[in-house]
Structure 1
Amino acid sequence: MAAHFGRRLYKGAATTAVAALAVAALSASQAPGVTADGPDRQSAADATPSPEIAEGSGATGNSPYYTDLPPLNSPNPSPSASTGTDTSGVSEAGIPATVLDAYKKAEASLREKKPGCNLPWQLLAAIGKVESGQARGGRVSADGTTLSPILGPQLDGNGFALIKDTDNGAYDGNSSYDQAVGPMQFIPSTWEWAGRDGNGDGRQDPNNIYDAALAAGHYLCRFDWDLSDQRDLDRAILSYNNSTEYLNTVLSWLEYYRKGTHEIPDGTGTLPADRSDTTVRPTPTYPSSPSTPGTSPEPGRTPGKPSGEAPSPKPPADPGSGTPTTPPGTTPPTPTDTVDHLEDAGTAKLTAMAGDTFGERLRARAETDAGKAVAKVRIRFTVVGDTDTTFSGGESVATVVTDSSGVAVAPALQAGEKTGPVAVRATVAGRTVKGVAYKATVTERAADTLVRTGDKALTCVPGGEFADPVELKATYEGGAADKVAATATLVTSADDPAVNDKGPYFKDADGNAVRTLGGLRTDANGLLKLPQLYADDTAGTFLLRVTTAGGATLTVELTVAAAETESPAPPAEPAPSAEPSASAEPSASPTA
């Protein structure tokens, strides 16, 4: 690409300064209100990653990355369809068709799986640009697999992080040290738990852009971050590669791609040139045949220190300081190298109801063979076995760095719906030493109280149906008991739980009378509304008993009685006449 802020970026203070100036210049060229350090955005340089990120190796093992910055001008308009002409900077906005499709499919999947993350596909595109130049300009097959391996330099501590082999060369072909692999540059130890199958072929391949893009999306969303919030966005990017320069570069491309992109044919993308580990721009070569894994890094990447730059020798320690000296020419041991084993750091009993968060958190302590605590060691907690219990954020693996006391505290466990035992394992990332096995238990959802939501009498005539439904409310420790299993039974009497073969009944799918219903479950608010009740020809008072998991029980009275009929009224007596009758008048008697 054409240089816009000088032809190269350099490591150290110069790199930081140039990257910061580049972000500011890019922001100034965009629409008003879009700034790198505006009122609605935290400065990238001020971003503070969480401890587990700050001391970890990120998704890439903090491998080198491309430092090319986007053009200052807006990526719109796209090339003219009629003339095919390009405008300055437009070629940079073009993303190879298969690569672009992979980013958008990953965004759609995360929108469904983790809607609160608000992952934009442009963030995946920005990281893909910085990590591999969009899979080397889109040199991928129809299914998204790179045509030749994309490998970072071996992480042997010589100018890079020291990460010894964790996959026996399965992904990177290197059985001595790890190397970042694929278009999104995952190190094998991270891909082991972060890998996803994005193209539905039944494989999780870091060399496939669909798999790698989906894995990157889940990786960025793993801590319940909301990427629409600038602070969470900064944290997520820093967790991928813990470098302020890296953060600035990714943010630059993110803003650029948000302004507009267009699809270009696979294999025609612009190839980046400047890298974070070189002071002299290499001449990029892209061979048609794969390089030998473990012996040749990605074309254009130079392992180790750049040419002409000798490693700075570490001065010997003061003999009286108690700090062991390191013989010249040797690499000092990392904290991880000194770990002999892990110990349970006082984790209490792990029990939770299905759907709830475990109140206790896993704790592991890294120790030397002498029992001394080791700080700054990455501990990987892994949920194993057939269970849907995960850590908060929905992941089955969490990597946490030990504190000054050598203790790593895992994120809270979130119980799934599968009940029974759950196994969790703690190991040292990058080492094969004695770990810790934890046992947890998920119990079924339960209720301790069950009441009717109304008090109206439940009545019915023989052979009819009850007009009012039976609705109940289940609670547990005062809160709504959601998704709790329940059973309803027409019992013989208060003292006899046997099923009554007379009186009210439910109907099954075929319309047959049933007097026991299992498989009932309360809703999200703890409410349980029973199906329609019917009555046979037997009159009387009957009992319906409802029980839930956890022991909550309620007995409801049902009455079946014939409808009352009114007795006929007696005939009314005639009202007395107001005038006297003729016979009542006195008769005249003759006088003698």
Structure 2
Amino acid sequence: MAAHFGRRLRKGAATTAVAAAAVAALSASQAPGATGANQDRPTAAGSSTPAPDPSTDGDATGNSPYYTDLPPLKSPDPSPSPTIGTPVARGGTEAGIPATVLDAYRKAEAELRATKPGCNLPWQLLAAIGKVESGQARGGRVDADGTTIGRILGPQLDGNGFALIKDTDHGAYDGNSHYDQAVGPMQFIPSTWAWAGRDGNGDGKADPNNVYDAVLAAGHYLCRNDWDMSTEGGLHSAILSYNNSQDYLNLVLNWMDYYRKGSHSVPDGTGGVPSHRSDDHTGRPTGTPTPTEPPRTKPHHKPDKPHKPDKPGGPASPDPTPPTPPVPPKPPTPSDTVDHLSDAGTGKLTARAGDDFARRISTRAETRTGTAVGKVRIRFTITGDTDTTFAGGEKVATVATDAKGVAHAPALQAGEKTGDFTVTTAVVGHRAKGVDYTATVTARTADTLARTSDTPLTCTPGGEFADQVQVKATYKGAVADQVAATAVLVKSEDDPTENDKGPSFKDADGKPVRTLTGLKTDDKGLLTLPKLYADDTTGTFLLRITTTGGATLTVELEVAAADAPAGPSPSPSATS
């Protein structure tokens, strides 16, 4: 079956009207509304495959072939689960999903529910895609860590009946240094995996051959662009972005509906592997009955007499097989004409941690002579040690260029990691020189500090201050949350060095501490310091609080005997 799998079907290329009718019929009977999916998408003339949608990022699989087996007409028969809270069904073999693969689907659903709740991704959608892409990892042939036993590869995408995608990973994932091939149980092409890959099993690496990694990556891929799987539009757009074919969409919807009606776990390696594929070269899916031909009858006329050869010098006999006319070359697509990408007036990219970048990246697609190219998809990818994302929480965004050839990336949202990172650009489906952008995230800052109370801070020698010091930080009048700060009991206004006498904080062992570092304001911009304690020295002492960004506040602390008159007194620190 592994050898069979290496020839996986060419998507839609050889799908016949018989197969399309079968899918449509099953859609009508098992998945209401499926047959009308994506009716508003443009379709190439004479083809059932929708034209690419420029708002998507291309196909995860590079439109590689897939298994076309349909789910049984009779749905699984649900029954109570022996394990509370885990729905199962007693159905046929098609309802069985290998245990490790099923675990990967459910874990991915749980993670996406937490990280992208608006996506509403059901695990049955992942199972449906896994079924048609690899037959649930070839029936669950995975090891204990979820890595496939042997690589699952699609055909090389060399343009010979398939898309033309030259090598992008130097053969690292697919072992092919000339052309890309779809890899793993969810059939990602290397160029897509480079940005969409995820570490689903926590081993520190993203491996397309690992079912946990591949399934989680597929979930994030489907949930990008803020698509909501609980809506028809979001669900259909996501599936078509995985493999841009109406037949593929209908098939996945049918399997998803089938699994929703019931499924159960089977041991790894015992799942069934489909046998019908979309790249069957007979002109119909494997296993489809040959259309019945009418019986042939004997001719009633006499056969023609043998043709006499022409006399010498007579006219030459016509060639019974006229030459095939040359196929005209395909006109270049807009992407084919792009020579390079250039900046379109982006400007300096900088933001404080946690803020949105004020500027958006703008990139222009141009021909060799500098002419703008519209309707070209540009992929923006965030790279480097950063937690900055595009709006929506993604590291990758794809935007089509406008009539002026310019694509505006979504707004960047700075994370908490400070420093520089890079945003790279590329033309989707075409090699052209890109342009890189350096962006910087600076630390959160405050420009103002103020006490939240005007109560004097007083204490008797050897005692503790009744009130804790609390301040509020703001930046341009707004709350400055998560801003780093330090607090030091200084010697005087002009001498910021640490005082060696007077009030102090205490460490865990009760020893005096007069410098606090690593402080940070809360989400309301408030900073509350620990309790302060006085030694036997009386006088007025100074506590200086400083934040990132330069905001500084000096607070007076008064230590006086109980019977001493109130009022300012010279600080012993000032004369020491």
TM-score, with normalisation over the residues of structure 1? Answer: 0.75
Matches of 1:43 and 1:428 in 2, distance apart? 28
Question: Aligned to 2:236, what secondary structure does the other structure show?
Answer: helix
The whole-number CA distance in structure 2 between the counterparts of 1:335 and 1:130 is 32
Please state if 1:451 is matched with 2:455: no
- Superposed CA offset, 1:116-171 (max 9, x none): 54433222111101212212222333433333443333334455433333233333
Deviation string 1:275-322 (CA, Å, 9 cap, x unpaired) is 4455423269xxxxxxxxxxxxxxxxxxxxxxxxxxxx9x9xxxxxxx
- The match for 2:295 is none
In structure 2, the residue matched to 1:181 is: 183
Q: Which residue of 1 aligns with 2:501?
A: 502
Q: Distance in 1 between matches of 2:451 and 2:102?
A: 56
Measured in 1, the distance between the counterparts of 2:382 and 2:171 equals 24
Equivalent residue runs for 1:180-259 within 5 Å: 180-259=182-261
Q: Is the Cα–Cα contact under 8 Å of residues 78 and 261 in structure 2 kept in the other structure?
A: no
For residue 154 of structure 1, the aligned residue among 153, 156, 164 is 156
Amino acid corresponding to residue 237 of structure 1 in structure 2: I
Matches of 1:73 and 1:276, distance apart in 2: 23
**Contact residue 390 and residue 397 of structure 2 kept, 8 A:** yes
Letter in 1 for 2:456: A
Amino acid at match of 2:338: V
Equivalent in the alignment of 1:26: 30
Q: How many aligned positions are there?
A: 505
- One-letter amino acid of the structure 2 residue matched with residue 351 of structure 1: T
Structure 1 gap ranges (5+):
1-7, 29-34, 285-312, 316-326, 567-592
Q: 1:135 aligns with which of 121, 134, 137?
A: 137
Q: RMSD between aligned alpha carbons? A: 3.6
Alpha-carbon distance change, 36 to 377 in structure 1, aligned in 2, over 3 angstroms: closer
Corresponding residue SS for 1:77 = strand
Alpha-carbon deviation of 1:264?
0.9
Q: Structure 2 stretches of 5 or more lacking a match?
A: 1-11, 43-49, 83-87, 289-323, 566-576
**Local SS of the residue matching 1:468:** coil
Tell me the residue number matched to 2:285. 281
Question: What's the offset of the Cα at 1:107?
Answer: 3.0
Determine if the alignment matches structure 1 residue 436 to structure 2 residue 435: yes
Q: CA deviation at 1:366?
A: 1.9
Note the alpha carbon deviations across 1:368-413, whole angstroms, 9 max, x for none: 2111223343433233333333333444333433334322222322
| Residues 432-483 of structure 1: CA deviation (Å, up to 9, x unaligned) | 4422121211111011222222333322221111122212221222322111
Find the residue that maps to 1:486 and give its secondary structure. strand
Preserved contact between residue 9 and residue 274 of structure 1 (Cα < 8 Å): no
TM-aligned CA distance change 1:231 to 1:477, over 3 Å: farther
Structure 1 541/108 Cα, relative in aligned 2: closer, same or farther at 3 Å? same
Shift of residue 537 of structure 1?
1.7
Structure 1: distance between partners of 2:19 and 2:195: 32
| Structure 2 length-normalised TM | 0.77
Q: Offset of 1:559 from its aligned partner?
A: 2.3
Call closer, same or farther: CA 1:436–1:10 in 2, change over 3 Å: closer
State the shift of 1:114 in Å. Answer: 4.2
Give 1:12 shift: 8.1
Provide the C-alpha distance between the structure 2 equivalents of 1:477 and 1:437, rounded to a whole number of angstroms: 32
What is the letter of the counterpart of residue 204 of structure 1? Answer: A
Q: How far did 1:184 drift?
A: 0.5
Counterpart in the other structure of 1:61? 62
Q: Is 1:166 aligned with 2:168?
A: yes
Equivalents in 2 of 1:10, 1:50: separation in Å? 17
- Greater CA drift, 364-373 or 521-530: 364-373
Residue 27 to residue 123, structure 1, CA distance change in 2 (3 Å)? closer
Alignment partner of 1:66: what SS? coil
Match of 2:122 in 1: 120
Choose 50-59 or 262-271, whichever is displaced more. 50-59
Q: Is the 8 A contact 2:19 2:284 kept in 1?
A: no
Cα distance, 1:246 vs structure 2: 2.8
Change (3 A) 1:528 1:72: farther
Is the alpha carbon distance of 1:563 and 1:384 closer, same or farther for their aligned partners in structure 2, counting shifts above 3 Å? same
Q: Secondary structure at the match of 2:436?
A: strand
Q: Which moved more, 1:546-555 or 1:273-282?
A: 273-282
Give me the identity figure in percent: 69
